[in-house]
Amino acid sequence: MNGLSSRIECPIIESERLVLRLLEAEDCASAIAYHRNNQDHLMPFGPKWPPDFFNEEFWTKQVETNKKEYREDKSARFFLFEKRGGRTAETVPDNAREYNNEVIGTVSFGGILRGAAQFCYLGYGLAKEKEKRGYMTEILREAIVFAFTDLKLHRVMANYIPTNEASGKILKRLGFTVEGYARDYLYLNGKWQDHILTSITNPDWRES
């Protein structure tokens, strides 16, 4: 089943080939391996990682931080997994996972702001070896549905470095609109980086 199945504490977002969910304690080793194996691939597009980033203690704390921020409506920081042969939650026993244990990417809705804003910032990353399969476009379609329906946000913003043409193509494919160009927008990989600013809005948003 495409789309999403969500629970208050444990939201799960599904696409045809992928599963997106919050990290659990037993996933820490896999999260460390994902970042270590893709360090050169990911670091140019993100903030500098802390010294203890590859320690299991760091990720154990991160699991709890992510859950706390989700409960407090501050962020939704998901990790990406591949399904096993296209199986869905309806075709496996309750005590079995229908997806592999290996983290292959991340999708996050951060900086959630309510009040008059009702927006967030989208961030995402994918393992180098999993690129060129349409994975990110596939799962982001469902993740944005989650942001609009479950998180009830009006606007999702996504900003990317101009040289990151692949990211720009994904966002255009998903219907994001370019809204501007920000000089020295974020300090990434040891230097200030310009960014192209984009967003997508929820046409069905209604005031709660």
Q: Is the pLDDT of residue 89 over 80?
A: no
pLDDT at 208: 76
Instruction: Find how far residue 4's CA is from the centre of its chain.
Output: 14
Q: What is the mean pLDDT of the chain?
A: 90
Give the architecture (CATH level 2) of 3-154.
3-Layer(aba) Sandwich (3.40)
Side-chain half-sphere CA neighbours of 119 within 13 A? 12
The encoded tokens of residue 21 equal 């969910």
- According to DSSP, the β-strands at 119-126 and 155-160 are parallel
* pLDDT, average across residues 139-145: 98
What are the residue boundaries of the structural domains of the chain, listed by start?
3-154
Q: What is the model's pLDDT at position 4?
A: 42
Answer yes or no: are the C-beta atoms of 106 and 37 closer than 8 Å. Answer: no
Indicate whether 10 pLDDT > 80. Answer: no
Q: Is the pLDDT of residue 92 over 50?
A: no
